[in-house]
Structure 1
Amino acid sequence: MEAMDVSMIGKGLIIIGAGIGLGMIGGRAMEAIARQPEATGKIQTAMIIIAALLEGVAFAALFA
């Protein structure tokens, strides 16, 4: 295998991991909102910040 092939596999694994992470974040946030509807704003804010950081890592992996 060439170095390019190995790096593409690594990038793919990072993207898959980011997708799984985003799904988990969304699911857990929905569970938290269902348990405490009055905390919806705080939960959504934290979820969006974490999701943005995770997407940043995924994009960095794609273009690095």
Structure 2
Amino acid sequence: MEGDIAAMGAYLGAGFSAIGMGLAGIGVGNVAANFLSGALRNPAAAGEQTATLFIGIAFAEALGIFSFLVALLLMFAV
């Protein structure tokens, strides 16, 4: 009985961690959308802000990858 509750908690935590992966995808979409919006308003400054775009995307993706690793650890470490 005790092992079943621990496994249930691990799978529940992995499910919550999967929400983090979905939210990371939303974050990448927001970063790209805001860059595109700003680039369309001021095309001359878009070239200077491309590095900032890639840094923002990298940070958002890193959070999604961390969330994925936590989900794997919770599912297979128990």
Residue 54 (str. 1) matches residue 73 (str. 2): no
Q: Which runs of 4+ in 1 moved over 6 A?
A: none
- TM-score w.r.t. the length of structure 1 is 0.86
Q: Find the counterpart in structure 2 of residue 36 from structure 1.
A: 42
Q: Looking at both structures, which has the greater relative contact order when contacts are Cα pairs under 8 Å and sequence separation is at least 6? A: 2
Deviations 1:4-59 (A, max 9, x none): 22111122110111111111111111010001111112222111101101111111
Give the alignment's Cα RMSD to 1 decimal. Answer: 1.4
Letter in 2 for 1:8: A
Gaps of 5+ in 1: none
Q: Percent identity?
A: 19
